[in-house]
Amino acid sequence: MSASRPQAQPTVQIDNDRVVVTEWRFPPGAETGWHAHEHDYVVVPQSTGKLELETLDGHTFSTLEAGVSYYRDKGAEHNVVNANDFEFVFVEIEIK
């Protein structure tokens, strides 16, 4: 995490024995902080824009489109940064 970046704001909507559903709101320039995913997960973008992914292999950018979901296997380790000058929102569904 960078001391100069605001923090993305997670709101857990569902947490039961099968899934965790979290809404993530990123003010411009906000980050999640470094984390590793312990579960397979699906991301459902609510915004269209570009996110910066800081990974162990370096930095990449990913363009997301509102309503176009994607799946990732557990184990992903990264810091996600809002590279837009507007709020970016997505819903993350972790499969336990």
pLDDT per residue over 43-65, tens digit each?
A: 999 999 999 999 999 999 999 99
Q: Determine, yes or no, domain membership for 3.
A: no
pLDDT of residue 4: 86
What is the rounded CA–CA span in Å between residue 62 and residue 83? Answer: 10
Inter-CA distances, 72 with 4, 69, 84, 86, 87, Å? 29, 10, 23, 25, 23
Q: Determine, yes or no, domain membership for 4.
A: no
pLDDT tens digits along 81-96: 999 999 999 999 999 9
What is the pTM for the complete model shown? Answer: 0.93
* Containing structural domain, residue 52: 9-95
Residue 80 has pLDDT above 70, yes or no: yes
Domain count, the chain: 1
Q: Determine, yes or no, domain membership for 1.
A: no
Residues 13-22 have a mean pLDDT of 98
Which CATH number is 47's domain given? 2.60.120.10
Q: Determine, yes or no, domain membership for 26.
A: yes
Q: Determine, yes or no, domain membership for 39.
A: yes
Q: Determine, yes or no, domain membership for 24.
A: yes
Q: What is the DSSP letter of 6?
A: P
Q: Determine, yes or no, domain membership for 38.
A: yes
